Chain A
């Protein structure tokens, strides 16, 4: 029973990892940009949630109404004003700039909020649970997982059934020719980053309600996100969800064996996947 419990909790945790990873997967898929500051943006969103919940006396989930659009605007401006200048055939400049952003974000957050661990208070929701036989499933992790699936499904729908999604895929295929179709590459890239940071906002709020966070929490989230993306296969959103779940389950089982093994077992599974199937378990099949 403890094993089944570990697996179920791992699956639910995987939803959070998929949320970490979805935005990363999205912008890599559309513009081959690896955002090293992704984890720090998750933490930024959590701090933004902290400010909103404490000043407006809001529930963390309600604060999403403000944090999601705010982060989307940050994403649009970031891409339009900064990252678009670094885009080109060479993938190194954007990598270096986002690395720099990561350092700037961590230190700015440290300056403003100090190094104290913070947490978003979700009240009763944090402890509420559902019992299924001898299994206890927390409402919050269940909610997180459901939201993750909904986010992935919406992104998938957006990609394959809307004009914006079509523009994303066309720009990803061939940005020059997409320009000839009247698509402004800079605007499309900025929309992609806005979408990525909107998902980051959701991830940040859930991170903040689930565990404590501090200005230095970002890089670990980035690694979990990366691992989920790689395990699932690049540019495949459902794959990213499965990648997150596999990572979550691996960590759950590891923790069950020995609490010290939680993160290690996740990394080991990641390395195994990388060694056996370097393209991930579900690499994107061409249309």
Chain B
């Protein structure tokens, strides 16, 4: 469904990605792991159109979409939960959720269903979004992405900076979210989480894919070798 082919990306003269091939099929959860600076966030920002790339480097259901603007890509049904939540501080919780529905894609997710999934958000819907705790903000960020009724969600550093108990809550909610016919590409620092939630996994190092395969067949040793190179 979503595919990148030979994806490259540059920050000025610095090349961040050297030909990334990633594929996520329908109803599939795929994780993307790698150390800091490996290019995970850059990959996601390029897929969502925040960073420019060549037309044919990103394919959506076989169509080349690399040239589209971020808002056009969002309308196709590709949503992102960005690293560090990035909620809109001058909007309330409910307004942050409503703006997720801005592109008017109809579907399962409504305000009510998001509040059913995360009841605490319903209680705090009038509050400024950034007055919530980190975990609750992450719930808003996930809810905001769901409100666009996407076909795939890219989760960037889903558990970064959150308390373990909150991480558990969010991971408990994920199967419900994905059962509703969604696909997901998940960036996660916690390797065991990344391997347990996903069917397949890609490991990135210095802008290249160093390991890929089904999460059942990948051992921790393979991952550590892909992370740090051969020792």
- Interface residues of A, Cβ cutoff 8 Å to B: 163, 166-167, 169-170, 172-174, 176-185, 286-287
Contact = CB atoms under 8 A, between A and B. Distances in A.
Contacts of A286: 89-90, 128, 130
B48 A181 contact: no
B169 interface: no
B90 A287 contact: yes
A176 B79 CA distance: 13
B82 interface: yes
Nearest to B127: A287
Given A166-B95, A170-B99, A286-B128, A180 B79 contact: yes
B71 A183 contact: yes
B107 to A, nearest CB: 14
Contacts of A184: 69, 71-72
Contact of A179 (B69, B79, B148): B69
A287 B103 contact: no
A26 to B, nearest CB: 14
B91 A169 contact: yes
B39 interface: no
Contacts of A163: 98, 102
A169 B128 CA distance: 13
In this complex, the member of A163, A180, A183, A287 whose beta carbon has the largest number of chain B beta carbons within 10 angstroms is A180
B112 to A, nearest CB: 19
Interface in B74-95: 74-75, 79-80, 82, 86, 88-92, 95
Contacts of A170: 88, 90-91, 99
A269 B98 CA distance: 42
Contacts of A169: 88, 90-91, 95
Contact of B80 (A166, A172, A174, A180): A180
Contacts of B86: 174, 177
9 contacts: A163-B98, A169-B88, A181-B71, A181-B103, A182-B71, A182-B102, A182-B148, A286-B89, A287-B89
Given A166-B95, A181-B144, A286-B89, 13 more contacts: A167-B102, A170-B88, A173-B90, A174-B88, A176-B50, A179-B70, A179-B71, A179-B74, A180-B70, A180-B80, A181-B103, A183-B99, A286-B130
Interface residues of B, number: 28
A287 B82 CA distance: 22
Interface in B94-153: 95, 98-100, 102-103, 128, 130, 144, 148
A176 B45 CA distance: 10
Nearest to A165: B95
Contacts of A179: 49-50, 69-71, 74
A177 B88 contact: yes
Given A286-B90, A287-B89, A287-B128, A181 B74 contact: yes
Contacts of A181: 71, 74, 99-100, 102-103, 144, 148
Contacts of A185: 71
B146 to A, nearest CB: 12
Contacts of A172: 90
Contact of A180 (B82, B89, B95, B98): B82
Contacts of B72: 184
A287 B91 contact: yes
Contacts of A166: 91, 95, 98-99
Contacts of A173: 88-91
A235 to B, nearest CB: 9
A192 to B, nearest CB: 15
B99 A167 contact: yes
B143 to A, nearest CB: 12
A156 B73 CA distance: 31
Contacts of B128: 286-287
B76 to A, nearest CB: 10
A189 to B, nearest CB: 13
A20 B50 CA distance: 36
A177 B144 CA distance: 11
B103 A182 contact: yes
A164 to B, nearest CB: 10
In this complex, the member of B75, B90, B99 whose beta carbon has the largest number of chain A beta carbons within 10 angstroms is B90
A177 B100 contact: no
A170 B148 CA distance: 16
A182 B90 contact: no
A163 B95 CA distance: 9
A179 B102 CA distance: 11
Contacts of A178: 88, 99
Nearest to A186: B69
